[in-house]
Structure 1
Amino acid sequence: MTEMMVSYSYAGQNLQEQTETISSRLGERFLSKDLTCLLMIDTAILRLRDKESLLCRQISARESICVPVVPQYLSAAFQPKLVPLNLSVMEDRQLLEMSVESAFDEIHPEKIKQGQGRLICGWLSYSTTPENVAVHLGKSAMQEREGKDILLRFYDPAVSLPLWAILDDWQRQRLLGPVTAWYSVDGDGQWVQRTGISSQQIRLSWSLSLSPQNWLDIHFIGIVNRILCEYRNLHLNEMRLSELQVFQSVLPALRRAWQFPFRNPDDLILYGTHALMISPNFDEHAIIVRILQISRVERKNSYREIVADLTEQQWCRIKDECRKTVYDFPQSLTGDV
């Protein structure tokens, strides 16, 4: 697979041009088909923002539809909302543009590192009523794992793109349901479009039939996001791998780390960082294989401690020699534990 590179810098002319491009593209998508746009926001994040900001005041003043995500556990104040926008109306078009500006403002790596979260979940088109969309999204957020209900925050843009890569086609369509298109911005300021089918059958279950491997990969999303944040900070003004490319190159290494087993988040972050910065298959190099074998015999389970004595010279050698081995990024991320 060809590497996908991005150069978005989160500031200046680059920021302005990308914001205008996404706003224009969204307007064209909805106006050309005379569709109402559903702006989805994470109300839990809205509570943390400046309530006097123009965007927050506009959203609060609008009629919106609550997405009933685990209503038995969360009050309406913490549940996502859908805000219908008629883009042929100037006020609604202005709110769309403000939402796009907010989506770009909140993805800066420093703001992500500070835990400020992402308010704008995306812009949706649909084949039914907004109320039915809300019910579907709310039901789909609750998934069962080993007999327990688990909240799947698939609407969080920091989760949605890697989750989409994990799911197969059937699971993707189950997840979207009556949503015919879900547009969003990824953490690199790039346009993301997930497409559903227009005709949906009535369903009695919202299960995605997530496998043990699916759940493990979902667990890794948070690990990869922490790796991504540091990676972007290091390469703000440089060409870098896209968000999806990073996930696809790091995930197989995290699966191998888990089997070792390395379970500490800091160990997994370091292991994944080495897969990203050294080579996706760095752990197949003879030096790494040898020290991992020794540590297994000695029953050491801290990756950070195991590689602590490797010199910069050794890491450079590992990187150079791994480059001679062609690594093909996986087309599919599905599989069994």
Structure 2
Amino acid sequence: MSAYLLVDPMLREPFSEDLLQAEPRETWTVPVRHPLLKPEQRPRLIRLHPHDTHLLKASLALALSEQADPDAEGEQGFVLGGWLLTDAPADALARHFARCMQGGFPGETNPKFIRWADRRVIEWMWPVLTPNQQAGLLGPVHCWYSLDRCGELVRYEATSDAKQEGVGFSAEQWAHATRNEAVQDLLRGWQRFAGVLPSDYLQKASEATAATISAGLSNRQDRVLLGAYILQVHPQLTTHPTVHSLIARALRGDATLAQALEGVPDPEGWNTIRTELERHAGLSQLQPATQGERLG
């Protein structure tokens, strides 16, 4: 069994040259091809020897530091993809990842580069993959370790009865993949005002993002803004008549979304909206909703 660091240097180099040259460290490039990807931006595998605690500590510190600052993350992304255990030769592992990272997907004619070396991608996509797709993504990897946004160690491994198959996405999985950017935008915004995220951050951010998309918002800043209100006020915020009308006003171009939402007194107005939504949710559990039922 050998251990490897999976790194994604698309936006920056993960380690200083001095660190990597301090002692011999073997590196393999994942031979993925994409028109916009320079050779030095391709993902890489770095063999992690059992005695190399210095590099192990540096990789853990890197993973923690790059997700501690939302603004830096927005500019530089995540470089540390995780720690891998495998008994396969490194060049075979590199070729396997190259196959997984590129290919055709439903409705997409141009070649796509799926950044599995970015740990945000595997965290987002893993739950919607079938067991066989999960096994196909891991391939010769026995265990893939990563960190979530709460600093907890996450372990990805295939189920014992899964059979490896390709990770070409279905139409539904591709639609899920395209929402990742909006969810990550919201998570960074959430971290700015909350500091520490709850353990179910991904589910809550996903639901809030889906609500902003269903409301008709396409601007990234507007989605983050409304998503932040949803997270702070109520999951069903966009269903409230007052908020619904404010969103419609912004979509018509009568005002920006920020200007429209400023029309609600803070905190009194938002507290009232939260109370009405909670009361409506309680009534809905007690009796069937009637056609045309409104909040308030």
Tell me, yes or no, if structure 1 residue 230 matches structure 2 residue 196: no
**Structure 1 SS opposite 2:183:** helix
Aligned residues between the structures: 278
Structure 1 residues 120, 127: closer, same or farther in 2, change over 3 A?
Answer: same
Which letter maps to 1:272? G
SS in 2 for 1:172: helix
For the pair 1:258 / 2:258, whether they are aligned, the reply is no
Match of 1:329 in 2: none
**Compared CA separation, residues 149 and 315, structure 1 to 2 (3 A):** same
CA RMSD of aligned residues (A): 3.2
1:270-317, Cα deviation, whole Å (9 max, x unpaired)? 222122221222122343345556777x68796445434222222122
- State how far apart, in whole Å, the 1-side matches of 2:163 and 2:275 are: 53
- For 2:100, which of 140, 160, 166 is the aligned residue? 140
**Contact kept? 1:62, 1:83, Cα under 8 Å:** yes
> Do the aligned residues in 1 keep the contact of 2:132 with 2:164 (CA within 8 Å)?
no
Which whole-Å CA distance do the structure 2 matches of 1:153 and 1:300 have between them? 39
Structure-2-length-normalised TM-score:
0.79
Cα offsets for 1:35-71 (capped at 9, x unmatched): 311111123355376434x2x4458x42212111226
Q: Is 2:209–2:223's contact at 8 Å kept on the other side of the alignment?
A: yes
Alpha-carbon distance between aligned partners in 1 of 2:11 and 2:73, rounded to the nearest angstrom = 15
Q: Distance in 2 between the 1:301 and 1:247 partners? A: 31
Partner of residue 241, structure 1: 198
| Separation in structure 1 between the aligned mates of residue 53 and residue 44 of structure 2, nearest angstrom | 18
Q: 1:209 to 1:227 in 2, by over 3 A?
A: closer
Secondary structure, in 3 states, of the residue corresponding to 2:10? helix
Work out the CA distance in 2 between the residues paired with 1:202 and 1:168: 10
> 1:93-120: CA deviations, max 9, x gaps?
3322222122222221256346233332
Q: Hey, what's the Cα distance between the residues in 1 that align with 2:131 and 2:163? A: 16
Distance in 1 (CA, whole Å) between partners of 2:116 and 2:90 is 18
Which residue matches 1:288? 243
Which of 48, 62, 71 aligns to 1:85? It is 48
- Name the SS of the counterpart of 2:228 in structure 1: helix
Partner of 2:76, secondary structure, is: coil
Q: How does 1:28-43 map to 2 (within 5 A)?
A: 35-43=1-9
Do 1:177 and 1:196's aligned partners in 2 also have CA atoms closer than 8 Å? no
Question: CA 1:168 to 1:252, structure 2 compared with 1: closer, same or farther past 3 Å?
Answer: farther
Distance 1:323 1:165, change over 3 A: farther
Indicate which of 163, 166, 174 corresponds to 1:215: 174
- State whether residues 147 and 153 of structure 2, in contact with CA within 8 Å, keep that contact through their aligned partners in structure 1: yes
Deviations 1:90-149 (A, max 9, x none): 2x2332222212222222125634623333210112353322221111111113232221
Higher relative contact order at CA 8 Å, sep ≥6: structure 1 or structure 2? 1
Match of 2:56 among 89, 96, 119: 96
Instruction: State the partner residue of 1:25.
Output: none
Contact 1:44 1:78 in 2 (8 A): yes
> CA-to-partner distance for each residue in 1:200-243, whole Å, 9 max, x for gaps?
8786xx442231x433332332222222223223333x6x413x
Moved more, 105-114 or 144-153: 105-114
Tell me, what secondary structure is at the counterpart of 1:124?
strand
Deviation at 1:184, TM superposition (A): 0.9
- Counterpart residue type for residue 192 of structure 1: V
Q: Which residue in the other structure is 1:275 paired with?
A: 230
Q: Is the 8 A contact 1:37 1:85 kept in 2?
A: yes
What SS does structure 2 have at the residue aligned with 1:193? strand
Instruction: Describe how 1:166-185 pairs up with structure 2 within 5 A.
Output: 166-185=128-147
Q: CA deviation at 1:82?
A: 1.0
- Cα distance in 1 for residues equivalent to 2:213 and 2:14: 35
Q: Give the residue type in structure 1 aligned to 2:207.
A: P
Please say if residues 250 and 275 of structure 1, whose CA atoms lie closer than 8 Å, have aligned partners that are also in contact: no
How many percent of aligned residue pairs carry the same amino acid? 21
SS of the aligned residue for 1:74 comes to: coil
Would you say the 8 A contact 2:187–2:205 is kept in 1?
no
Single out whichever of 287-296 and 316-325 deviates more from structure 2: 287-296
Structure 1 residue matching 2:75: 3-state secondary structure: coil
Relative to structure 1, the CA distance from residue 74 to residue 292 in structure 2 (aligned partners, 3 Å threshold; closer, same or farther) is closer
Q: Is the 8 A contact 1:249 1:276 kept in 2?
A: yes
The answer to whether the 8 A contact 2:182-2:223 is kept is: yes
